[in-house]
Amino acid sequence: MRLETIHPRELSESDAALWRAHQLNDPALRSPYLTPDWAKLIGETRDDARVCVIQDGGGFFGAQRLSRFAAMGLGAPISDYQGVVGLPGLPVNRADLCRALRVGRIDITHAPAGQNLLKGAVAGREGSWIVDVAGGRDLYEAALKQRRSEFVRQTDKKRRKLEREHGELVFRAQSSERGDFETLLAWKNAQLKRTGQPEIWAAPWISQALNACFETKDIQFGGALFTLSVKGQLAAGAFCLRSPRVLHFWIVAHDSAHDSYSPGVQLARWIAGWAGDNGIAEIDFGPGDYQYKRQLSTGQRMLERGVVAGSSWSAAVRRVEHAVRGQMERLPQARLAELPGKAMRRLDLMRALHA
């Protein structure tokens, strides 16, 4: 397999154009996390970012080299999609990829199902929640009311109550209000701190990437801030990443003073309507089994995790971790079954943050 490994800043305009053309072959490849623009943005924040150009542009694979032992997908842990963007059925030699990146293994957590990248090496699957809005707002809302009539009734009731008790709601799409963006990040970091999780959005390279996304609002790629306000005060915010036809939810939080009105859910529904009216075909809520995702989504896309490697001891260690996780997840005790997955995600998080 012919491979050239470059830093994302070395991607030429023709490389980027070919990369985008490959994305059109498969809806699962149209995520903003799989664009050349995402690769370039991460390349501006991480010196260890790399792009493997496969078969003279037949495919592209982004990674970040944490050490000589392991690499991760480009942008991990803040990227919900990783994988090869290329010609349908493009053969991928995993050992060659590792040699090109000079690592023992590549840890993949969210590759679109069916890629040759993980063929025969899938350790687990998880669904990303998808909202099909290609038919427009009216069609989506009508289908939602038919599928989730009680959910629609309850959210409408809460919206009316919020407006009655606090004032009219104001929705803003693709806002450039820096103060609201910073408030959203503060809410999210406070939420992580309360629950004992690492404040990932405050990490220097991630903060830099977020700010770059906020400043980038091109239709090809960029950040999109959506807000819901009451009497000039932010009630809920969602910062999304977008590509031409996909809007991917990234950071969502709300003012805890409005908990009883579910302002974050209200905002997500407003965004779905806006997307349907503005040429977006799909909203991707990402993985994670949250009730609002189940209620608003029209389906799921399966993502796969596993180890990309040849023969190395670091790959063997990772495969054992996946095997233990798989066995535990089959246990009937839900809380016990979740522990290995949580431990692996936390370890991956710390590795990516401090590399």
Give 134's contacts (C-beta < 8 A, 6+ positions apart).
Answer: 276, 281, 282
Give the pLDDT confidence score for residue 228 in this predicted structure: 97
Domains of the chain with bracketed CATH: 3-129+301-354 (3.40.630), 134-280 (3.40.630)
Instruction: Give 153-170 pLDDT, tens digit per residue.
Output: 999 999 999 999 999 999
Is the dihedral angle over the CA atoms 219, 112, 238, 154 positive or is it negative? positive
Residue 75 CA to residue 253 CA, distance in Å, equals 22
Confidence of residue 346 (pLDDT cuts 50, 70, 90): confident
- Looking at residue 134, its pLDDT comes to 96
Residue 303 has pLDDT above 70, yes or no: yes
Give the amino acid at 167.
G
Q: What angle do CA 145, 150, 151 make, to 5 degrees?
A: 75
Q: Does the pLDDT of residue 349 top 90, yes or no?
A: no
CB 258 within 8 A of CB 274: no
To 5 degrees, how large is the angle CA 168–CA 253–CA 80? 135
Q: Which tens digits make up the pLDDT trace of 81-138?
A: 999 999 998 999 999 999 999 999 999 999 999 999 999 999 999 999 999 999 999 9
In this predicted model, what pLDDT tens digit does every residue of 315-345 receive, in sequence order?
788 888 888 787 877 878 777 778 777 777 7
Query: Residue 181 is encoded by which pair of tokens?
Result: 């963006």
Residue 56: which region, alpha, beta or left (left: phi > 0; alpha: psi -120 to 50)? Answer: left
Q: Look at residue 355 and tell me whether its pLDDT is greater than 70.
A: no
Q: Whole-number mean pLDDT of the chain?
A: 92
